């Protein structure tokens, strides 16, 4: 049996990257015949407990595991505890308690490590994340989501004098959007796209490192040049009031921008079908899942050249990268797209030929690593 720690995701009303990872992997592990148990943390007992029916209902949203797919019994000895969420902060078990309980129950622990980004923040977030990253050295298996993230974690351990052996291997995330079949691009849509507006989709939470402001500046410049045949659709929750203010300010200036804060996967799918390409200007990510998800849903993506997903992918096609730190470079790229349909057509053609991994592929890899550790 595999216990999946679902404490935050079972109650959180959004579906960010970590939540999508947990939901999609849980769904695919069940499809592959694995018995999965949902575990949460109870502060009152200072112990693990099985998730409630309300928790399971929330987990089933966004194409997560169906309520009836979970095995509602406590994982027996020799089970694995799979942790996607960050074990940090005052509402989580301490690392010492985590290892104490795993030893008590006879579980092995596998952790999916997403990024070291909070270390670059000031205050308590960095402190909690540092404690979490130190604790990972004692897990039985650690699977960072990119080569870059693995390097950051190993460098962190070395800087803290922590000794690690062979329990770490990077495992890139797949492209599949769980619950939706892969969409092949419609080349005719691109050929005819300039009969109306160039429809751009940007999927990400509203926070500073996602770099929305540079995109808004680029669109303002295009508008000032009379190149107004675009529409930008934003999808994501507001995680920073200052970024929300920049959205509102940009709209007040007349920029053609809409924002959907509560899009479910069905609405998101429609936005992908309506857009001509996606734009992901984020300055820093542990991976950059929206880039591959865009390709899965048949739309080229324009993104920062420094994203780990780009470096791990070895440019197999379907996206274009450049330095999104500079808003003027974004403006130049968008201007070129308005003037030349061949750029998008070529990216669409690349999508027809490339392989994209599924969550079943990803889950099989997790199971392979777990079985190796069990030998």
- The tokens describing 357, both together, are 């991994």
DSSP-derived 3-state class of residue 50: strand
At 59, which helix (H) or strand (E)?
helix 53-60
Residue 235: count other Cβ atoms within 10 Å of its Cβ: 21
User: What are the structural domains of the chain?
Assistant: 2-174+358-374 (3.40.50.2000), 187-353 (3.40.50.2000)
Gap between the Cα atoms of 19 and 267, Å rounded: 18
pTM: 0.94
List CB contacts of 239: < 8 A, sequence separation 6 or more.
205, 206, 207
Question: Per-residue confidence of the chain (375 residues) as pLDDT tens digits?
Answer: 999 999 999 999 999 999 999 999 999 999 999 999 999 999 999 999 999 999 999 999 999 999 999 999 999 999 999 999 999 888 899 999 999 999 999 999 999 999 999 998 766 788 899 999 999 999 999 999 999 999 999 999 999 999 988 899 999 999 999 999 999 987 776 655 555 678 999 999 999 999 999 999 999 999 999 888 899 999 999 988 999 999 999 999 999 999 999 998 889 999 999 999 999 999 999 999 999 999 999 999 999 999 999 988 877 899 999 899 999 999 999 998 888 878 888 999 999 989 999 999 999 999 999 998 876
The 3-state secondary structure of 223-283, one letter per residue: HHCCCCCEEEEEECCECCHHHHHHHHHHHHCCCCEEEECCCCHHHHHHHHHHCCEEEECCC
């Amino acid at each position: 049996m595999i216990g999946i720690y679902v404490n935050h995701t079972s109650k959180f009303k959004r579906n960010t990257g970590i939540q999508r990872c947990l939901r999609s992997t849980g769904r695919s592990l069940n499809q592959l015949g694995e018995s999965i148990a949902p575990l949460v943390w109870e502060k009152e007992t200072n112990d693990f407990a099985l998730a409630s029916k309300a928790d399971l209902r929330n987990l089933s949203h966004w194409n997560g595991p169906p309520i009836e797919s979970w095995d509602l019994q406590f994982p027996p000895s020799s089970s694995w505890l799979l942790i996607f969420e960050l074990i940090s902060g005052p509402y989580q078990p301490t690392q010492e308690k985590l290892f104490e309980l795993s030893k008590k129950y006879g579980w092995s622990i596998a952790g999916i490590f997403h990024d070291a980004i909070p270390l670059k923040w000031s205050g308590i977030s960095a402190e909690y994340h540092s404690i979490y990253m130190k604790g990972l050295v004692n897990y039985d298996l650690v699977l960072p989501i990119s080569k870059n993230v693995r390097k950051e974690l190993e460098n962190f351990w070395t800087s803290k004098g922590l000794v690690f052996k062979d329990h770490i291997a990077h495992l890139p995330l797949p492209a599949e959007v769980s619950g939706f079949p892969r969409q092949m691009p419609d080349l005719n849509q691109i050929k005819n796209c300039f009969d109306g507006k160039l429809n751009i989709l940007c999927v990400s939470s509203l926070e500073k490192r996602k770099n929305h402001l540079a995109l808004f500046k680029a669109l303002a410049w295009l508008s000032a040049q009379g190149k107004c045949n675009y529409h930008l659709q934003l999808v994501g929750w507001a995680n920073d009031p200052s970024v929300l203010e920049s959205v509102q300010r940009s709209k007040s200036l007349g920029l053609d921008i809409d924002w959907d804060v509560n899009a479910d996967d069905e609405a998101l799918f429609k936005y992908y079908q309506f857009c001509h390409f996606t734009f992901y200007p984020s300055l820093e990510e542990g991976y950059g899942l929206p880039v591959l998800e865009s390709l899965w849903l048949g739309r080229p993506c324009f993104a920062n050249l420094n994203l780990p997903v780009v470096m791990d992918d070895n440019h197999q096609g379907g996206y274009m990268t450049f330095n999104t730190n500079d808003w003027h470079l974004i403006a130049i790229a968008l201007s070129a797209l308005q003037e030349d349909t061949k750029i998008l057509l070529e990216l669409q053609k690349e999508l027809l030929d490339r392989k994209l991994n599924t969550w079943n592929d990803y889950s099989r890899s997790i199971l392979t690593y777990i079985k190796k550790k069990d030998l």
